Structure 1
Amino acid sequence: VVNQNDPEHLDQEETDNDLFDWTSKIRKTYRPLDADIIVVEEIPEREGLLFKHANYLVKHLVTLPSSSPSEDRTVVRRYSDFLWLREILLKRYPFRMIPELPPKRIGSQNADQIFLKKRRIGLSRFINLVMKHPKLNNDDLVLTFLTVRTDLTSWRKQATYDTSNEFTDKKISSDFMKMWKKDFAEQWNHAASCIDTSMELWYRITLLLERHEKRTMQIVHERTFFETLVNSFSEVTPKLYPVQQNSTILGINNSFGIIKKHLETTSDICKQEIEEASGTLSPKFRIFTDILLSLRSLFERYKIM
Structure 2
Amino acid sequence: MSDLYDILDPWGPSGAGNSGTGGPSETSLLGGTGLEGDVSRSCLDKVILPPIYAIAYSAGLKAGHGTITRDVLQKVIGFSGLPRHIVGQIILAADLGTPTLSQRDFNLALAMTALAQKNMPPTIEGVAFHKDDLPVPELNGIESLTTSSSSAGVSAAGPEQRAGPSSAFPDSSDDPWFSSTKSAATMAPPTAGMASMAISAGNEVPSSNTSQPLHNGVTNAQQADARNSSGGTAAQTIVPSINMDILQWQLDLEDVSIKESAEKGGIVFKHTNYEVSTRSFTAMVVRRYNDFFWISNYLIKRYPYRMHPNIPPKGFPVDRHFLDNRIKGLTRFSSAILRIPFLRRDALVIQFFTNTDEFSRVIKVGNLDTDAEDFDPKEEAGNTPWIEIQQTYVAFDDFYHQVAKDEEKYRTQITALEKIARYKQAIGDELYAYSDTLRHVNAPVDSITGSLKSYTQSKAKRALNTNLNELSMSFCDVSLLDKSQGEVMKTISSEYLRRMYDVVISMKLMMDRMRIMDKSKEAQRIRERNNTNRKSLAQLNGDLIGNGSNSNSNSEQPPDRASIERLERLVREDTEELNKLELEQQRIELRFYQELARYKCYESFLQTHYHRFMEEQIKHHTLVLNAWKQALVSADDLPTNPLDFIS
Q: Into which bin does the TM-score normalised by the smaller protein fall?
A: 0.7 to 0.9
- The residue aligned with 2:73 is none
Corresponding residue to 1:55 among 273, 297, 314: 273
1:295 aligns with 2:490: no
How far residue 118 of structure 1 moved from its aligned partner, in angstroms, is: 1.8
> Displaced runs of 4+ in structure 1, greater than 6 A?
10-15, 236-241
Contact kept? 1:57, 1:77, Cα under 8 Å: yes
- The residue aligned with 1:206 is 414
Contact kept? 2:286, 2:356, Cα under 8 Å: yes
- The residue aligned with 1:95 is 305
- The residue aligned with 2:516 is 304
1:22-171 matched pairs, under 5 angstroms: 22-23=241-242, 25-26=243-244, 28=246, 30-60=248-278, 62-64=279-281, 73-105=283-315, 109-169=316-376, 171=378
How many residues in Structure 1 have an aligned counterpart in Structure 2? Answer: 289
| TM-score when normalising by structure 1 | 0.80
Work out the percentage of aligned pairs sharing the same amino acid: 24
Contact kept? 2:260, 2:272, Cα under 8 Å: yes
How far residue 263 of structure 1 moved from its aligned partner, in angstroms, is: 1.1
How far residue 303 of structure 1 moved from its aligned partner, in angstroms, is: 0.7
Unaligned runs of 5+ in 2: 1-218, 229-233, 518-647
C-alpha distance in structure 1 between counterparts of 2:435 and 2:373, whole Å: 63
1:204-283 matched pairs, under 5 angstroms: 204-232=412-440, 242=454, 245-283=457-495
Residue identity in the other structure for 2:497: F
C-alpha distance in structure 1 between counterparts of 2:425 and 2:288, whole Å: 34
How far residue 268 of structure 1 moved from its aligned partner, in angstroms, is: 4.0
Contact kept? 2:272, 2:288, Cα under 8 Å: yes
Specify whether residues 281 and 266 from structure 1 end up closer, same or farther in structure 2 by C-alpha distance, changes over 3 A only: same
CA deviations on 1:51-71 (whole Å, 9 max, x unpaired) are: 3211111011x233xxxxxx6
CA deviations on 1:103-150 (whole Å, 9 max, x unpaired) are: 212xxx334322222222211111111122232222222121111111
Of residues 131-140 and 242-251 in structure 1, the stretch that sits farther from structure 2 once superposed is: 242-251
C-alpha distance in structure 2 between counterparts of 1:177 and 1:241, whole Å: 98
Going by fraction, where is strand more abundant, 1 or 2? 1
Looking at both structures, which has the greater relative contact order when contacts are Cα pairs under 8 Å and sequence separation is at least 6? 1
Secondary structure of the residue that 1:47 maps to in structure 2?
coil
CA deviations on 1:65-107 (whole Å, 9 max, x unpaired) are: xxxxxx6x210001111111111111221111112221212xx
Secondary structure of the residue that 1:22 maps to in structure 2?
coil
How far residue 187 of structure 1 moved from its aligned partner, in angstroms, is: 4.6
Specify whether residues 15 and 176 from structure 1 end up closer, same or farther in structure 2 by C-alpha distance, changes over 3 A only: farther
Going by fraction, where is helix more abundant, 1 or 2? 1
C-alpha distance in structure 2 between counterparts of 1:253 and 1:241, whole Å: 19
C-alpha distance in structure 2 between counterparts of 1:260 and 1:271, whole Å: 16
Specify whether residues 273 and 225 from structure 1 end up closer, same or farther in structure 2 by C-alpha distance, changes over 3 A only: same
C-alpha distance in structure 2 between counterparts of 1:27 and 1:63, whole Å: 15
C-alpha distance in structure 1 between counterparts of 2:220 and 2:324, whole Å: 63
| TM-score when normalising by structure 2 | 0.40
Specify whether residues 75 and 251 from structure 1 end up closer, same or farther in structure 2 by C-alpha distance, changes over 3 A only: same
